[in-house]
Amino acid sequence: MAPEICDLLYNAQDGMRGRYWQSPDYGFAATKHLIHGLLPKLTSFAQEPPAPPKQCAPMNVETIKASLEGLSAKVWPREKDDQGNPILVEGDQYLMVPRWRENEKLAEINQGFWRRSPTTGDLEVKGALIRTRDQTEYIPEKKRDRSCQIHKFGFT
């Protein structure tokens, strides 16, 4: 997708972060809606998956679907290139969000990350962590209030 489209999807008033700015629940619902719309395409890639790395257990289509339908699944702009370098532009000239500016000093981690905006058209769909032993979702403690963090700080 073009960088401008990605930026609109991410930063526009009715974009992903715009929905989280409106309310944690609106942001969560927008994320679930987008993933639901992408689900058929995403699961089609799993029909003939490549061999998993040796340290990973293979995932079947049902596990992938459960991961994408999990509460903590998310869509977010790609933050790093293939070499691990940041690819989100940072600066007040791109975003000016008073609530996030005022709250950034209260953030325990990632202070000021709300200023970061996508510079490419790359998005990442990240499924929930699914336990292999019982197929239940695991949400790390610091991510359990992700929607509220984005609403308050613009980032998580």
Bridge partners, 77 (sequence order)? 123
pLDDT at 19: 94
* DSSP letter, residue 140: -
Please tell me the distance from the alpha carbon of residue 148 to that of residue 74, in angstroms, as a whole number.
14
Q: Which tens digits make up the pLDDT trace of 25-84?
A: 999 999 999 999 999 998 887 776 566 666 666 678 888 899 999 999 999 888 888 898
* DSSP letter, residue 80: B
Please tell me the distance from the alpha carbon of residue 149 to that of residue 156, in angstroms, as a whole number.
6
Model confidence at 148, pLDDT cuts 50, 70, 90, reads very high
Looking at the 3D structure of the chain, how many domains does it have? 1
Domain that holds residue 144: 3-153
